[in-house]
Chains A and B, each alone.
Chain A
């Protein structure tokens, strides 16, 4: 199945019973798949009149207690940012899939990774985060979506799946999740009608003095807790290399192949890949930065995760960057060349240094 379909099927198997979306390439298979599957499993599918309507239908559905999802691609996600900020402010669990394309503006319909900043630094207004998961295979499109619903419910937070057009469109065999969906925690805050209890409110408007500050500290506490417990990364030969290649999503998958090819040539290269882009696995990277000589970041943008890599490395290693901002997916041999170039740069530095 395609990545988009695997993601949609993951949502269904995670217990998602409400989907609203609006067409945009390259994620159109998600709404098409959900239109069919929601009717099969008694859920709701709505083709909304706009991205704004789609995300706010999700807000209503989440407030009513459903597992709800929307999906879009970069320009559409920009429109959804208003609703995402409200979801975060109202502490509503929901899943938002961004199958990225080129930008800014209309950009292109080719795969890109230009929405890293938008996804990890808030995107909408206010002091908030969403958990951001970055799959790199069709299998992960499926598995991460299931996990996204679990995390959303557990922490009452919107979760973003940050994929791209390549992952959405490519086909691979998938092991589909079997068994019941992750059980949702009790949700006493949902709007169900105030029978035998005081009315529930879903709101983010807190105008009385001190109230908003308290609320924001509460959100931050939740974010710290998530950072402590849910941060994930993948690594390979990371602790035994001179040059660490850091990449995420589609780029990580190709970089991983390039690193393997480099190791086969005897180069001391390792691989590091954040699975959660937010919370960014900075602690681990900081440790690695002290062990390696250089870190090469490869992204399909002009250097967005690069900033988090720099921050985590804290000046402990040389940082190199290779970017592809034009909607082009780099090939393994291109990345291999870059690795070669940078390992040579590293060895020059070493030879010049006095012992």
Chain B
């Protein structure tokens, strides 16, 4: 009999705790990718994460690295403090769309504008998951949520904010990419984007930002499978999946 060889398993940096996320949620997938990236780059023991307020608030239960909490939206400010005191460590901030694009928009823009040498992971699922699926800055036009029950309309609520495009107007970011968890291909691309982002930080190149279009089956009110389709067909249409900035240079589409 041929000798057995392990080709795939739980990443070292991922704890064995059972995650609290809903079935089909993108957070668990991104956590796993993040853990794989930490393993592959051998940086778990010099990484410090900042967890958001929102569904991923318990990130420390799952990722085996040092982690701080932050008040809602202030994650990049906390990450800035950590990085300036420990410039040799790898600092990431992990945020949802309410955290990053609503309450924390100010910190988001200014941290990017300073070109802090940190990595920001932005989970865009168009809703506030933790508090009950309310409208987020990224909620699509006509999308229904408890706080826009008739669907989002632009006349009084504005349109979905495209964060990558916004950050791409600044001079200092080094790397900006948007990916989508819409199938195997999208997942692999997301991992590659995370690798690029962390490598940029390790090489002290500056601010790296990865937006991940992610399913929230619970508040899309769709099955996990249909949620993926929603990400692929609807979300990616409004939020084009691509590299916006590479090596500090704006990439035109």
Using a CB–CB cutoff of 8 Å, the interface residues on chain A facing chain B are: 17-18, 20, 44, 46, 48-50, 52-54, 56-66, 68, 82-83, 86, 90, 191-196, 199-205
Known: A57-B80, A61-B85. A193 touches B66 (CB 8 A): yes
Q: How large is the interface on B (under 10, 10 to 19, 20 to 34, 35 or more residues)?
A: 35 or more
Whether A68 contacts B81 by the Cβ 8 Å rule is: yes
Q: B46, B71, B83: which contacts A83 (Cβ < 8 A)?
A: B71
- How many Å lie between the Cα of A135 and that of B134 in the bound state? 47
Contacts of A54 in B (CB 8 A): 77
Whether A201 contacts B60 by the Cβ 8 Å rule is: yes
Whether B106 contacts A60 by the Cβ 8 Å rule is: no
Residue on A nearest B89 in the bound complex, by CB: A193
Known: A53-B107, A199-B64. A63 touches B71 (CB 8 A): no
- How many Å lie between the Cα of A96 and that of B79 in the bound state? 19
Whether A58 contacts B46 by the Cβ 8 Å rule is: no
Whether B82 contacts A61 by the Cβ 8 Å rule is: yes
Contacts of A49 in B (CB 8 A): 106-107, 109-110
Whether B84 contacts A56 by the Cβ 8 Å rule is: no
Is B204 interfacial (CB 8 A cutoff)? no
| Closest beta carbon of chain B to A15's beta carbon, Å | 13
Whether A194 contacts B45 by the Cβ 8 Å rule is: yes
- How many Å lie between the Cα of A153 and that of B63 in the bound state? 28
Whether A60 contacts B68 by the Cβ 8 Å rule is: yes
Q: B48, B64, B77: which contacts A48 (Cβ < 8 A)?
A: B77
Known: A191-B48, A205-B69. A20 touches B74 (CB 8 A): no
Contacts of B46 in A (CB 8 A): 193, 195
Listed from nearest, the 7 A-B pairs whose CB atoms lie closest are A60-B81, A56-B77, A64-B85, A193-B46, A61-B81, A49-B110, A60-B78
Contacts of B64 in A (CB 8 A): 194, 199
- How many Å lie between the Cα of A133 and that of B67 in the bound state? 31
| Closest beta carbon of chain B to A39's beta carbon, Å | 13
- How many Å lie between the Cα of A52 and that of B69 in the bound state? 15
Whether A191 contacts B81 by the Cβ 8 Å rule is: no
Contacts of B71 in A (CB 8 A): 52, 56, 82-83, 86
| Closest beta carbon of chain A to B90's beta carbon, Å | 8
| Closest beta carbon of chain A to B172's beta carbon, Å | 14
New contact pairs (5) apart from A56-B74, A60-B50, CB-CB < 8 Å: A53-B77, A53-B80, A56-B107, A86-B69, A191-B66
Known: A60-B79, A193-B45. A18 touches B84 (CB 8 A): yes
- How many Å lie between the Cα of A330 and that of B90 in the bound state? 53
Is B25 interfacial (CB 8 A cutoff)? no
- Residues of B96-113 whose CB lies within 8 A of A: 106-107, 109-110
A-B contact pairs, 24 of them (CB 8 A): A17-B85, A20-B81, A48-B77, A49-B107, A52-B106, A54-B77, A56-B74, A57-B78, A59-B74, A59-B77, A59-B78, A61-B84, A63-B68, A64-B86, A83-B74, A86-B69, A86-B70, A191-B82, A191-B86, A193-B45, A193-B46, A201-B68, A203-B60, A205-B58
Q: B66, B69, B85, B107: which contacts A194 (Cβ < 8 A)?
A: B66
- Residues of B186-229 whose CB lies within 8 A of A: none
| Closest beta carbon of chain A to B127's beta carbon, Å | 21
Is B65 interfacial (CB 8 A cutoff)? yes
Q: B67, B81, B85: which contacts A199 (Cβ < 8 A)?
A: B67
Whether A18 contacts B81 by the Cβ 8 Å rule is: yes
Is B44 interfacial (CB 8 A cutoff)? yes
Contact with A along B89-133 (1 / 0, CB 8 A): 110000000000000001101100010000000000000000000
Contacts of A65 in B (CB 8 A): 85-86
Known: A56-B71, A192-B89. A64 touches B81 (CB 8 A): yes
- How many Å lie between the Cα of A90 and that of B58 in the bound state? 15
Is B28 interfacial (CB 8 A cutoff)? no
Residue on B nearest A66 in the bound complex, by CB: B85
Is B57 interfacial (CB 8 A cutoff)? yes
Whether B65 contacts A193 by the Cβ 8 Å rule is: yes
- How many Å lie between the Cα of A66 and that of B106 in the bound state? 25
- How many Å lie between the Cα of A196 and that of B64 in the bound state? 12
Whether A44 contacts B70 by the Cβ 8 Å rule is: no
Contacts of B106 in A (CB 8 A): 49-50, 52-53
Q: B47, B48, B69, B89: which contacts A203 (Cβ < 8 A)?
A: B69
Whether A60 contacts B85 by the Cβ 8 Å rule is: yes
Known: A60-B77, A60-B80. A44 touches B85 (CB 8 A): yes
Contacts of A18 in B (CB 8 A): 81, 84-85
In the complex, which of the residues B50, B81, B83, B110 has the most CB atoms of chain A within 10 Å of its own CB atom? Answer: B81
Q: B57, B81, B90, B110: which contacts A62 (Cβ < 8 A)?
A: B81
- How many Å lie between the Cα of A4 and that of B175 in the bound state? 40
Contacts of A201 in B (CB 8 A): 60, 66-69
| Closest beta carbon of chain A to B233's beta carbon, Å | 36
- How many Å lie between the Cα of A49 and that of B90 in the bound state? 23
- How many Å lie between the Cα of A82 and that of B44 in the bound state? 30
Residue on A nearest B90 in the bound complex, by CB: A193
- How many Å lie between the Cα of A57 and that of B66 in the bound state? 17
- Residues of B28-69 whose CB lies within 8 A of A: 44-48, 50, 57-58, 60, 63-69
Contacts of A194 in B (CB 8 A): 44-45, 64-66
Residue on A nearest B74 in the bound complex, by CB: A56
In the complex, which of the residues B69, B70, B83, B85 has the most CB atoms of chain A within 10 Å of its own CB atom? Answer: B85
Contacts of A56 in B (CB 8 A): 70-71, 74, 77-78, 81, 107
| Closest beta carbon of chain A to B94's beta carbon, Å | 14
